[in-house]
């Protein structure tokens, strides 16, 4: 059986005095999850608001993705299924060099 769903993600950004805050909100129709992210402009750097927007937005979406994965893990455990093992090493570079 085919099932089609539409989940909506909204992203709100607010910049004030070199600090950008982002809130990513996922609405599934039955529940809502929210992720947060922040970016700060170093006082010695040139202020480029678009960079702060990108950093804060990506951090908010990463936070949201983590919350969604934890929710899925809880529901899988409640259903008696195992969860996917978490990768604890670095996501880049040479893993054997980082011990």
- Give yes or no for a contact between 82 and 66, defined as CB atoms under 8 angstroms apart: no
pLDDT per residue over 12-24, tens digit each?
Answer: 999 998 999 999 9
What pTM was computed for the model? 0.79
Task: Give the E-state strand segments of 17-96 in sequence order.
Answer: 19-27, 32-40
CATH architecture of 9-81: 2-Layer Sandwich (3.30)
Backbone phi, psi, residue 32, to 5°:
-135, 135
- Top pLDDT among 81 and 49 is at 49
53-83 burial code (b ≥16 CB/10 A, e <16): bebbbebbbebbeeeeeeeeeeeeeeeeeee
- Give yes or no for a contact between 43 and 18, defined as CB atoms under 8 angstroms apart: yes
> How large is the average pLDDT for residues 78-90?
72
pLDDT per residue over 29-39, tens digit each?
Answer: 999 999 999 99
């Amino acid at each position: 059986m085919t099932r089609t769903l539409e989940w909506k993600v909204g992203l709100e950004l607010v910049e004030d005095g070199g600090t950008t805050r982002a809130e990513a909100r996922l609405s599934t129709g039955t529940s809502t999850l929210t992720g947060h992210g922040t970016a700060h402009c170093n006082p010695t750097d040139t202020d480029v608001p678009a960079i702060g927007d990108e950093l804060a937005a990506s951090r908010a979406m990463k936070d949201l993705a983590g919350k969604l994965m934890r929710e899925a893990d809880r529901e899988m455990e409640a259903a008696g299924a195992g969860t996917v093992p978490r990768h604890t090493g670095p996501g880049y570079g040479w893993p054997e060099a980082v011990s």
